[in-house]
Structure 1
Amino acid sequence: MSTSIKKAIPKKRGRPATGKDPMLAGRVPAEMIEAVERWAAQHNLTRSEAIRRLIQLGLDVECN
């Protein structure tokens, strides 16, 4: 009797992706982070959302 050999599907390594958008990272001075956090608190936003909105505001001003 012959036995069948099943091919094992290899497991993917690492944490699964949480979002579809690419991540952007950079170094920011502590004073700027504090200013962003204050702005975020005034607008009831998370730090990430505040950074995205501030970048968009800067791009909108530059393009007009």
Structure 2
Amino acid sequence: MVAMTVQPQLRKKPGPPATGKGTPVQVRLQPNILADVDAWIDQQPDPKPSRPEAVRRLATEGLISWGVRDPAKNA
């Protein structure tokens, strides 16, 4: 008799594949700021960005407008 090994099935995580780049940051937003972010998302063309993507884009735009980030490095 031959013993068989059962391989556990791995579950796929939802969302895009992880890049392994960047530092995760958790931010707590007050309801009025979150409403502003959601309103900005509603103004964006389809496909609309997720909340995390919206926060990344808004942070990048803010840093560029303040002269902290070079617009050429907008990636």
For the criterion TM > 0.5, the same-fold answer is yes
What is the CA distance between 1:25 and its match in structure 2?
A: 1.3
- Could you tell me which residue of structure 1 aligns to residue 25 of structure 2? 24
Identify the match of residue 52 of structure 1 among 47, 50, 56.
56
Unaligned 5+ segments in structure 2 are 1-12, 69-75
Q: TM-score with structure 1 length normalisation?
A: 0.62
Unaligned 5+ segments in structure 1 are 1-15
Identity %: 25
For the aligned residue pairs, the C-alpha RMSD in angstroms reads 2.0
Runs of at least 4 residues of structure 1 off by over 3 A? none
Q: TM-score with structure 2 length normalisation?
A: 0.54
Amino acid of the structure 2 residue aligned with 1:33: L
- Could you tell me which residue of structure 1 aligns to residue 39 of structure 2? 38
Task: Give CA-to-partner distance per residue, 1:6-38, whole Å, 9 cap, x none.
Answer: xxxxxxxxxx9x442211112211110111011
CA distance in 1, matches of 2:19, 2:32: 28
Task: Give CA-to-partner distance per residue, 1:30-56, whole Å, 9 cap, x none.
Answer: 110111011112112111111000000
